[in-house]
Amino acid sequence: NDILLHVKNLHVAFDTYAGEVKAVRGVDYELKKGETLAIVGESGCGKSVSAQTIMQLIPMPPGKIKEGEIIFEGKNLLDYSDKEMEKIRGKDISMIFQDPMTSLNPTMKVGKQIMEVLIKHQNMTKSEAHDRAVEMLKLVGLPNPEKRAKQFPHEYSGGMRQRAMIAIALACNPKLLIADEPTTALDVTIQAQIMDLMQELQDKLNTAIILITHDLGVVADSAKKIAVMYAGIIIEYGETNDIFYNAQHPYTWGLLQSVPRLDVETEVRLVPIDGTPPDLIAPPKGCPFAARCDYAMPVCKESMPEVSDVSDNHYVRCWLKHDMAPEVVNPVTGRR
Ligand code: SF4
Ligand code: MG
């Protein structure tokens, strides 16, 4: 059994003065050892919340897990105490964020920050941890790692800080790395370098990765599978090729249109999808995308579309897949 993580029917909500925000509304996915799953969607779609729940990083209250299971190596993490989770965080499961400054300690030398993780989780002596810290900085591509280990985060550039955060996250060789918009704050060239680095390290260390992003363009080369989330639901799921070349959901079509084409020399014009996502305090009873969808039919506002299988590992939630639906031309494939 090479399934590392199985998220089952996860529902997460937050209490607010205006009412309960249903941020994640029944999310399912599996991740194999060493594999990358990208979770893609606009901000507020529940992609970060669903991943933070794995690490139990959701403040509770106001957050609450209403339903579901998070099976990691055969055990439900939602049954774990805070103390048991403490042992897993940073060791078996690590996380990196968009802004390294939120997880790097500005008052501590970078080498020391890596050493702390190693001393806590791997029982290393100081000198073992020091050697390993320098080795990690070298592994993430920092020139002069001995010297860099003795510097503070503010002495690093943005890209270098992101590398340092990756070094900390991977120091204990975790089985799962959750990367939440890891390159969003960086310029395009550095973005590509960081993505390459993550892939290179994944190959070396066989780490599974959940890559969370609003940008489909980032995941094309790195993810094996893609889950597209909208309003707390996975509306399309498939292998990367299924999503890029055979997308079936109108929202995914919109996301694909907004991916800048690297093969086109002219200035890239992003096409945003018109409208805003629904209010998750009172989510619509039908398809959550109906208010923005060019293809919406009367049924779409009435009932939530069921899951339709496109192929073995590819499914979509859209009434267009129903037998009775009118035929439309799929703008991605050009077919009906
Ligand atoms: Fe559009 Fe209807 Fe499909 Fe929703 S179910 S995406 S509204 S066609
Ligand atoms: Mg987020």
Closest residue to atom 3 of ligand 1, CA basis: 318
Q: What is the 49 CA–ligand 2 centroid distance (Å)? A: 7
CATH 3.40.50.300, domain 3-92+176-200+208-321, yes or no: yes
Q: Residue 40: nearest ligand to its CA?
A: 2
Amino acid 265: pLDDT: 47
Q: Which of 289, 328, 329, 332 most suits a substitution to test ligand 1, by most atoms within 8 Å of the C-beta?
A: 289
pLDDT in tens, the chain (336 residues): 799 999 999 999 999 999 999 999 999 999 999 999 999 998 889 999 999 999 988 888 999 999 999 999 999 999 999 999 999 998 999 999 888 777 899 999 999 999 999 999 998 999 999 999 999 999 999 999 999 999 999 999 988 999 999 999 999 999 999 999 888 878 888 888 888 889 999 999 999 999 999 888 888 888 999 999 999 999 999 999 999 999 999 999 999 887 765 554 444 445 678 888 899 999 999 999 999 999 999 999 999 999 999 999 999 999 999 988 999 999 888 888
Q: What is the 143 CA–ligand 2 centroid distance (Å)? A: 31
Domain boundaries, the chain: 3-92+176-200+208-321, 99-173
Amino acid 334: pLDDT: 85
Ligand 1 atom with minimal separation from the 299 CA: 2
Pocket of ligand 1 (CB under 6 A): 249-250, 287, 289-290, 293, 295-297, 300, 305, 318-320
pLDDT digits (tens, 9 = 90+) for 112-143: 999 999 999 998 999 999 999 999 999 999 99
Q: Residue 45: nearest ligand to its CA?
A: 2
Q: Look up residue 193 and give its two tokens.
A: 């370098």
ipTM of this predicted complex? 0.96
Q: What is the 296 CA–ligand 1 centroid distance (Å)? A: 5
Q: What is the 333 CA–ligand 1 centroid distance (Å)? A: 18
Q: What is the 48 CA–ligand 2 centroid distance (Å)? A: 5
Ligand 1 atom with minimal separation from the 301 CA: 7
pLDDT digits (tens, 9 = 90+) for 187-205: 888 888 888 889 999 999 9
Ligand 1 atom with minimal separation from the 251 CA: 6
Whole-model pTM?
0.93
Q: Residue 293: nearest ligand to its CA?
A: 1
Closest residue to atom 7 of ligand 1, CA basis: 290
Q: Which of 287, 299, 307 most suits a substitution to test ligand 1, by most atoms within 8 Å of the C-beta?
A: 287
Q: What is the 286 CA–ligand 1 centroid distance (Å)? A: 9
Q: Residue 252: nearest ligand to its CA?
A: 1
